[in-house]
């Protein structure tokens, strides 16, 4: 008799699937690998930030950049993470959950955090930085843009300046690991800016809509879910 286990148990986190592609051929020189190994590892996970689903505090980083025009910022590659570990560790030691990066040319436009995309809400309008090679075009970002538009919001993919950010009503982050995480404060040049969080926010509404589709609690009209049997 077969006993089936659900990993993790229903309602206790998720099974995170991470595809990995590494060069594994016999080569020492600087050149594309002659052979690659593709793996997928599966691990049960809880929430990504230690804050859980609670709102997070972010620090705007002005000196260190995670990506630059012509670089690899738009691809999920290890080369985008090593350069930001120091900024991230410094921010964490000061109590921030993560760092928010600015564009490396003007240091004026917001890009994203170390592992998630960013949205700002002002009035009935939603904006997220346009992806043009320096921002990871996340699938959660894409899904949230669609769900927000479906529920009547105007969503713009455009340049989001630091002024747009600090004057926003609401700010939130998106990613497979972080889900939809509300941002309660952003610190920029020593000043802390506060944003709306809690039940009556767009991020909460979109979080509920997305996770209900993911967990099969709401009808999936978009064909985003796949049954595994
Ligand atoms: C993974 C990641 C995201 C989110 O992408 P998803 O496809 O939604 O998981 C955003 N930004 C960065 C830098 C990332 O590494």
Residue ranges of domains in the chain, CATH in brackets: 1-46 (no CATH), 56-210 (3.20.10.10)
Per-residue pLDDT averaged across 98-108, rounded? 96
Radius of gyration of the chain, Cα coordinates, nearest whole angstrom: 19
Residue where the block lists tokens 């080369």: 79
| Cβ-based neighbours of 117, under 8 Å, separated by 6 or more | 128, 129, 135, 136, 138, 140, 141, 173, 174, 175
| Cβ-based neighbours of 116, under 8 Å, separated by 6 or more | 98, 138, 140, 173, 174, 175, 177, 178, 181
What pLDDT sits at residue 52?
66
Catalytic residues, by residue number, are: 76
C-beta pairs of 81-90 under 8 Å, 24+ apart in sequence: 81/114, 81/115, 84/114, 87/61, 87/63, 87/114, 88/114
User: What residue's CA is closest to ligand 1, atom 15?
Assistant: 115
Q: What percent of the chain has pLDDT above 70?
A: 97
User: Which residues face 101 on adjacent strands?
Assistant: 61
**3-state class (DSSP) for residue 4:** coil
Q: Give this prediction's pTM.
A: 0.92
What pLDDT sits at residue 227?
84
What pLDDT sits at residue 11?
74
What pLDDT sits at residue 129?
98
Residue where the block lists tokens 């699937």: 17
Segment 129-163, tens digit of pLDDT = 999 999 999 999 999 999 999 999 999 999 999 99
Query: How many CA atoms does the CB half-sphere of 120 hold within 13 Å?
Result: 26
Tokens representing residue 47 in the block: 């929430």
Query: Ligand 1: which of 84, 113, 130, 136 to mutate, judged by most atoms within 8 Å of the beta carbon?
Result: 136
Q: How far apart are CA 223 and CA 220, in angstroms?
A: 6
Segment 157-202, tens digit of pLDDT = 999 999 999 999 999 999 998 889 999 999 999 999 999 999 999 9
One-character DSSP codes across 165-177: HHT-SEEEEEETT
| Residue 139 beta carbon below 6 angstroms from any ligand 1 atom | yes
Phi and psi (nearest 5°) for 178?
-90, -15
Distance from residue 156's CA to the centre of ligand 1 (Å) = 19
| Residue 112 beta carbon below 6 angstroms from any ligand 1 atom | yes
């Amino acid at each position: 008799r077969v006993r089936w286990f659900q990993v993790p148990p229903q309602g206790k986190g998720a099974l995170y699937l991470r595809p990995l592609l590494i060069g594994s051929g016999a080569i020492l020189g600087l050149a594309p690998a002659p052979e690659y190994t593709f793996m997928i590892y599966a691990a049960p996970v809880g929430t990504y930030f230690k804050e859980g689903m609670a709102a997070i505090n972010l620090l705007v980083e002005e000196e260190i950049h995670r990506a630059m025009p012509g670089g690899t910022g738009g691809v999920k590659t290890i080369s985008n993470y090593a350069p930001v570990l120091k900024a991230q560790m410094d921010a964490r030691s000061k109590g921030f959950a993560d760092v928010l990066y600015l564009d490396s040319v003007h240091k004026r436009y917001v890009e994203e955090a170390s592992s998630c995309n960013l949205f700002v809400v002002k009035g009935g309008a939603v904006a997220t930085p346009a992806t043009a090679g320096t921002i990871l075009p996340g699938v959660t970002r894409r899904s949230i843009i669609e769900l927000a538009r479906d529920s009547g919001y105007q969503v713009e993919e455009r340049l989001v300046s630091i002024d747009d950010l600090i004057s926003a009503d609401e700010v939130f982050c998106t990613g497979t690991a972080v889900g939809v995480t509300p941002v309660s404060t952003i610190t920029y040049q020593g000043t802390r800016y506060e944003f709306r969080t809690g039940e009556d926010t767009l991020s909460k509404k979109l979080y509920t809509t997305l996770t209900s589709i993911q967990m099969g609690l709401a009808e999936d009209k978009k064909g985003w879910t796949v049954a595994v049997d």
